[in-house]
């Protein structure tokens, strides 16, 4: 019998215990153990009923994702779980922590389910580009009905125990000791001679919908926006349709076929890669896990503008009191008004209660008094992007802040080391580059200064997690990692316009690729004047022989700064945020092509992808070589969570691997020939391409 799953008895109740840290994943050994212990329970003459319970922090959190894509050994999920469901004695699943995926599917094969109040249950397979493959799509609709099952399985969001009880997923919430409570529940079932309730046999919730295809067509339409580009949500709807319209065993066979197809596809590979990439990003080789982390009990944010307000909301959302400082009452009031408006919008969408809104607002203390910064454990500076001002602010922070406080800058373009040098304690200075809107976007680039201490780094990374963000460590370089790569793409996009494309064409290709929007709509949204100002500052240092497009400058010279002025690359009519192609811009571009002596030609969609995305991959290779990112997967996490790169394509570096680095290298070589040295393939790209390797194999040391 497996050591990971054991059988024992408590009076007349058999107890099956899973103990497979960290999350009791259903590995081959656990499946074997479950099967053996279910048989042991059946064959134990003294056991009248059984419970299934887990040690450690959680109930079974799903299949073992590391086994996916490999040859399956041992009993299949169905072989293990069918034995459980087929037992002649009632079995109760006793849930704590999270019963997810194959974990919940295991519980659904038990005859009854109980859980502690803090437990959560869900089928998150969709987030891995999969569908529940151990009967979840067939059993859950039988238990909760079709509409709820559709929502739960296509979003993958878990639900808390109380809601799960209301919906019928669990039968009892146990206050106090779970093991004792579950045993008592099992005894009660025996005493009351309750039937062996097999979810597979429940019909009342699905029968009335048999033959009704409309409900599924409507659902497919309703999820079109959130599921755009993803295969798994649609395969899930098909499976739930099968649950309603096919006999149980046929439905299971349909589900198995569905998961096998998804498992073999590139989307799931990419999404499974992202699952581990996100967790890998938290690991920093020279900052060990046991590095002391300062407790952030109170924070301060300097600057109540676009970013400062959003950052202050992040602290409040996490329950951390935060001071919000600005130089003038008017700015402060404006900032606080925007925060309140944001929370009110969330409340109106039903995602926040009035009481919670009030609680969060009360955690944010607006003030003009700089002295309060002396109370903060962690300060984030988000004032205007000017080096002189940042240095002045950090010198002031150095005077006011406690010696152990950490001082972070939200700068997006300035040198963190230079800012740190304005203080007497550069070891306590770090960059925390939030992305706009800061209360929404999940990425924080944690910018490691030359002198940032390990404790400072560990604290900033841990704080990112506390704030519900994904922190990725990057080095000090122009644009850090995300924007440095973005710059490559945007530069190429402008060249494409000169050669024959139009903004609406370029944007459509990238939207269809899966990004939330293309470079031109994105520029209009962010404000074209911001990068115009930066370009003007860099004009003197730009090499004369480097290709440079003046198109964006010309758009700004017309006073078109994007959405905020009602026009940019596109026009925005009547305050709408929908970009509308503008003949004026078409004309401007055509005149520019003529001025440059370029004969405009048809640019294909494939060329747009290659021209915009391959230079991003190339820049990623340079970033890796310079050590500005620790691993290719960190770059991918940055692009997925900071820029909305489609998860099902796994980030630009994974995408490069999937299309073959040799293809990227060959294309870059061609661009170099056509457009000059700045397109030269990075040495790392060349090395990997010539060796037939990938960024992933490089990271694995192969």
Whose CA is closest to 469, among 636, 282, 290? 282
Count Cβ neighbours within 10 Å for each residue of 651-666 and write b for 16 or more, e otherwise.
bbbbbbbbbebbebbe
Interface region with ligand 3HC, contact rule CB under 6 A, candidates 131-139, 199-207, 543-551, 566-574: 131-139
CB distance 131 to 235 below 8 Å: yes
Task: Find tokens 């405009």 and name the residue.
Answer: 600
Q: Which helix (H) or strand (E) holds 261?
A: helix 248-264
Site string for ligand NAI, 433-452 (x = CB under 6 A): ---x----------------
Q: How far is the CB of 307 from ligand NAI (least distance, A)?
A: 3
Interface region with ligand NAI, contact rule CB under 6 A, candidates 178-186, 272-280, 296-304, 627-635: 296-304
Q: How far, in Å, CA of 560 to CA of 568, rounded? A: 4
Interacting residue with ligand NAI among 15, 47, 223, 325 (CB under 6 A): 325
Count other C-beta atoms under 10 Å from residue 24's C-beta. Answer: 27
Catalytic residue among 78, 96, 433, 698: 433
Q: Which does 125 bind (CB under 5 to 8 A by kind): ligand 3HC, ligand NAI, none?
A: ligand 3HC
- Of the two residues 98 and 633, which places its CB atom closer to ligand 3HC in the complex? 98
CB distance 506 to 496 below 8 Å: yes
CB distance 119 to 96 below 8 Å: yes
Counting contacts by CB under 6 A, is residue 240 touching ligand 3HC? no
Counting contacts by CB under 6 A, is residue 410 touching ligand NAI? yes
Pairing of strands 299-302, 120-122: unpaired
- Of the two residues 384 and 548, which places its CB atom closer to ligand NAI in the complex? 384
The two three-digit tokens of residue 579, written as one number:
């970009």
Interface region with ligand NAI, contact rule CB under 6 A, candidates 116-124, 190-198, 323-331, 416-424: 323-331
Whose CA is closest to 142, among 205, 212, 195, 215? 205
Q: How far, in Å, CA of 419 to CA of 428, rounded? A: 12
Q: Which residues contact 151 (CB under 8 A, 6 or more apart)?
A: none
Counting contacts by CB under 6 A, is residue 134 touching ligand 3HC? yes
Counting contacts by CB under 6 A, is residue 25 touching ligand 3HC? yes
Q: How far is the CB of 303 from ligand NAI (least distance, A)?
A: 3
Beta bridge partner(s), residue 7: 16
Q: Which does 561 bind (CB under 5 to 8 A by kind): ligand 3HC, ligand NAI, none?
A: none
Number of residues counted as binding ligand NAI (CB under 6 A): 22
Q: How far is the CB of 309 from ligand NAI (least distance, A)?
A: 8
Whose CA is closest to 294, among 400, 404, 450, 374? 404
Q: Which does 2 bind (CB under 5 to 8 A by kind): ligand NAI, ligand 3HC, none?
A: none
Helical ranges in 44-177 per DSSP H: 77-85, 102-108, 136-144, 146-155, 161-167
- Of the two residues 244 and 302, which places its CB atom closer to ligand NAI in the complex? 302
Q: How far, in Å, CA of 291 to CA of 327, rounded? A: 36
Question: Using CB atoms, what's the residue nearest to ligand NAI?
Answer: 305
Q: How far is the CB of 308 from ligand NAI (least distance, A)?
A: 6
Counting contacts by CB under 6 A, is residue 475 touching ligand 3HC? no
Q: Which residues contact 212 (CB under 8 A, 6 or more apart)?
A: 244
Q: How far is the CB of 124 from ligand 3HC (least distance, A)?
A: 4
Residues in region 53-92 near ligand 3HC by CB under 6 A: 58, 61-66, 77
Counting contacts by CB under 6 A, is residue 581 touching ligand NAI? no
The two three-digit tokens of residue 483, written as one number:
């924007």
Interacting residue with ligand NAI among 85, 171, 326, 498 (CB under 6 A): 326
The two three-digit tokens of residue 322, written as one number:
């935060």
Interacting residue with ligand NAI among 37, 382, 496, 556 (CB under 6 A): 382
Cα separation values, 534 from 354, 531, 540, Å: 42, 5, 12
Counting contacts by CB under 6 A, is residue 483 touching ligand NAI? no
Interface region with ligand 3HC, contact rule CB under 6 A, candidates 20-28, 526-534, 611-619, 629-637: 20-28
The two three-digit tokens of residue 164, written as one number:
């799960």
What's the longest Cα–Cα distance across the chain?
92
Counting contacts by CB under 6 A, is residue 251 touching ligand 3HC? no
Residues in region 253-282 near ligand 3HC by CB under 6 A: 279
- DSSP letter string over 356-403? HHHHHHHHEEEES-GGGGGG-SEEEE---S-HHHHHHHHHHHHHHS-T
Interacting residue with ligand NAI among 50, 233, 251, 303 (CB under 6 A): 303
Q: Which does 100 bind (CB under 5 to 8 A by kind): ligand NAI, ligand 3HC, none?
A: ligand 3HC
> What angle in degrees, to the nearest 10, is found between the helix axes of 605-626 and 683-690?
110
Using DSSP's 3-state secondary structure scheme, residue 15 falls into strand
Q: How far, in Å, CA of 607 to CA of 143, rounded? A: 50
Interface region with ligand NAI, contact rule CB under 6 A, candidates 320-328, 485-493, 556-564, 652-660: 320-328
Q: Which residues contact 82 (CB under 8 A, 6 or more apart)?
A: 109
Interface region with ligand NAI, contact rule CB under 6 A, candidates 65-73, 94-102, 405-413, 491-499: 405-413
Interacting residue with ligand 3HC among 3, 22, 175, 193 (CB under 6 A): 22
Q: Which does 410 bind (CB under 5 to 8 A by kind): ligand 3HC, ligand NAI, none?
A: ligand NAI
Q: Which does 176 bind (CB under 5 to 8 A by kind): ligand 3HC, ligand NAI, none?
A: none
- Of the two residues 98 and 439, which places its CB atom closer to ligand NAI in the complex? 439
Residues in region 491-550 near ligand NAI by CB under 6 A: 526
Q: How far, in Å, CA of 379 to CA of 533, rounded? A: 27
Q: Verify whether residue 433 is a known catalytic residue.
A: yes
Counting contacts by CB under 6 A, is residue 342 touching ligand NAI? no
Interface region with ligand NAI, contact rule CB under 6 A, candidates 137-145, 259-267, 276-284, 406-414: 406-414
Interacting residue with ligand NAI among 80, 121, 252, 393 (CB under 6 A): 393
Extract long-range pairs of 249-257: CB within 8 Å, 24+ residues apart.
Answer: 251/137, 251/138, 252/78, 252/135, 252/138, 255/131, 255/132, 255/133, 255/135, 255/136, 255/137, 255/138, 256/78, 256/133
Number of residues counted as binding ligand 3HC (CB under 6 A): 25
Interface region with ligand NAI, contact rule CB under 6 A, candidates 47-55, 212-220, 380-388, 571-579: 380-388
Q: How far is the CB of 280 from ligand 3HC (least distance, A)?
A: 7
Counting contacts by CB under 6 A, is residue 306 touching ligand NAI? yes
CB distance 407 to 379 below 8 Å: yes
CB distance 499 to 603 below 8 Å: yes
Q: How far is the CB of 85 from ligand NAI (least distance, A)?
A: 52
Task: Find tokens 């198995």 and name the residue.
Answer: 256
Q: Which residues contact 701 (CB under 8 A, 6 or more apart)?
A: none
Helices (runs of H) and strands (runs of E) counted in the chain: 29, 17
Cα separation values, 303 from 93, 228, 278, 323, 467, Å: 51, 37, 30, 10, 19
Catalytic residues: 433
Positions that interact with ligand NAI (CB under 6 A): 302-308, 325-327, 331, 382-385, 389, 393, 410-412, 436, 526
Which residues here bind ligand 3HC, judged by CB under 6 A?
22-23, 25, 58, 61-66, 77, 98, 100-102, 105, 124-125, 128, 130, 132-134, 136, 279
């Amino acid at each position: 019998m497996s050591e990971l799953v054991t059988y024992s008895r408590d009076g007349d109740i058999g107890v099956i215990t899973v103990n497979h840290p960290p999350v009791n994943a259903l590995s081959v050994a656990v499946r074997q153990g479950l099967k053996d212990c279910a048989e042991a329970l059946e064959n134990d003459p003294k056991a009248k009923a059984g419970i299934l319970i887990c040690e450690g922090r959680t109930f079974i959190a799903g299949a073992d994702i590391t086994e996916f894509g490999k040859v399956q050994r041992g009993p299949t999920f169905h072989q293990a779980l069918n034995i459980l469901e087929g037992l002649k004695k009632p079995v109760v699943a006793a849930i704590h922590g999270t019963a997810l995926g194959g974990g919940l599917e295991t519980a659904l094969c038990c005859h009854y389910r109980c859980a502690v109040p803090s437990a959560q249950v869900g089928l998150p397979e969709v987030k891995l580009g999969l569908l529940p493959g151990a009967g979840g799509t067939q059993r859950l609709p039988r238990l909760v009905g079709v509409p709820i099952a559709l929502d739960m399985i296509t979003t993958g969001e878990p639900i808390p125990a109380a809601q799960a009880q209301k919906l019928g997923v669990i039968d009892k919430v146990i206050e106090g000791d779970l093991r004792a409570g579950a045993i008592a529940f099992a005894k009660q079932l025996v005493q009351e001679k309750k039937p062996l309730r097999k979810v597979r046999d429940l019909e009342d919730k699905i029968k009335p919908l048999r033959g009704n295809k409309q409900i599924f067509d409507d659902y497919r339409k309703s999820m079109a926006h959130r599921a755009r580009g993803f295969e798994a949500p649609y395969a899930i709807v098909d499976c739930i349709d099968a649950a309603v319209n096919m006999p149980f065993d046929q439905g299971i066979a349909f589900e198995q076929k569905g998961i096998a197809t998804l498992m073999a596809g590139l989307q799931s590979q990419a999404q499974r890669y992202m699952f581990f990439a996100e967790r890998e990003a938290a690991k920093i080789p020279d900052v060990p896990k046991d590095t002391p982390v300062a407790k952030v009990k109170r924070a301060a944010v300097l600057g109540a503008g676009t970013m400062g307000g959003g950052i202050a909301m992040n602290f409040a959302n996490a329950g951390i009191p935060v001071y919000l400082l600005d130089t003038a009452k008017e700015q402060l009031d404006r900032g606080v008004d925007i925060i309140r408006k944001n929370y009110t919008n969330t409340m109106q969408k039903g995602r926040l209660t009035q009481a919670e809104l009030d609680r969060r607002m009360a955690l944010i203390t607006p003030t003009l008094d700089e002295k309060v910064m002396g109370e903060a454990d962690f300060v984030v500076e988000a004032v205007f992007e000017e080096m002189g001002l940042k240095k002045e602010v950090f010198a002031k922070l150095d005077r006011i802040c406690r010696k152990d406080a950490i001082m972070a800058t939200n700068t997006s373009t300035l040198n963190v080391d230079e800012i740190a040098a304005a203080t007497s304690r550069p070891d306590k200075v770090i960059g925390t580059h939030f992305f706009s809107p800061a209360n929404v976007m999940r990425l924080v680039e944690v910018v490691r200064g030359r002198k940032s201490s390990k404790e400072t780094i560990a604290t900033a990374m841990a704080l990112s997690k506390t704030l519900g963000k994904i922190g990725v460590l990057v080095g000090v370089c122009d644009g850090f990692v995300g924007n440095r790569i973005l710059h490559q793409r945007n530069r190429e996009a402008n060249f494409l316009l000169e050669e024959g494309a139009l903004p609406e064409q370029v944007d459509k290709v990238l939207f269809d690729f899966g990004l939330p929007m293309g470079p031109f709509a994105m520029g209009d949204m962010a404000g074209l004047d911001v990068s115009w100002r930066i370009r003007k500052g860099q004009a003197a240092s730009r090499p004369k022989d480097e290709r440079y497009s003046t198109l964006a400058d010309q758009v700004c010279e017309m006073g078109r700064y994007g959405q905020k002025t009602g026009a940019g690359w596109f026009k925005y009519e009547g305050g709408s945020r929908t970009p509308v192609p503008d003949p004026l811009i078409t004309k401007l571009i055509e005149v520019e092509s003529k001025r440059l002596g370029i004969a405009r030609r048809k640019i294909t969609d494939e060329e747009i992808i290659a021209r915009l995305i391959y230079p991003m991959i190339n820049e990623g290779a340079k970033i890796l070589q310079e050590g500005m990112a620790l691993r290719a997967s960190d770059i991918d996490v940055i692009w997925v969570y900071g820029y909305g790169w489609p998860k099902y394509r796994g980030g630009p570096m994974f995408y490069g691997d999937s299309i073959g680095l040799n293809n990227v290298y060959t294309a870059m070589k061609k661009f170099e020939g056509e457009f000059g040295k700045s397109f030269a393939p990075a040495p790392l790209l060349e090395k990997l391409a010539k060796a037939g390797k990938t960024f992933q194999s490089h990271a694995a040391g192969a």
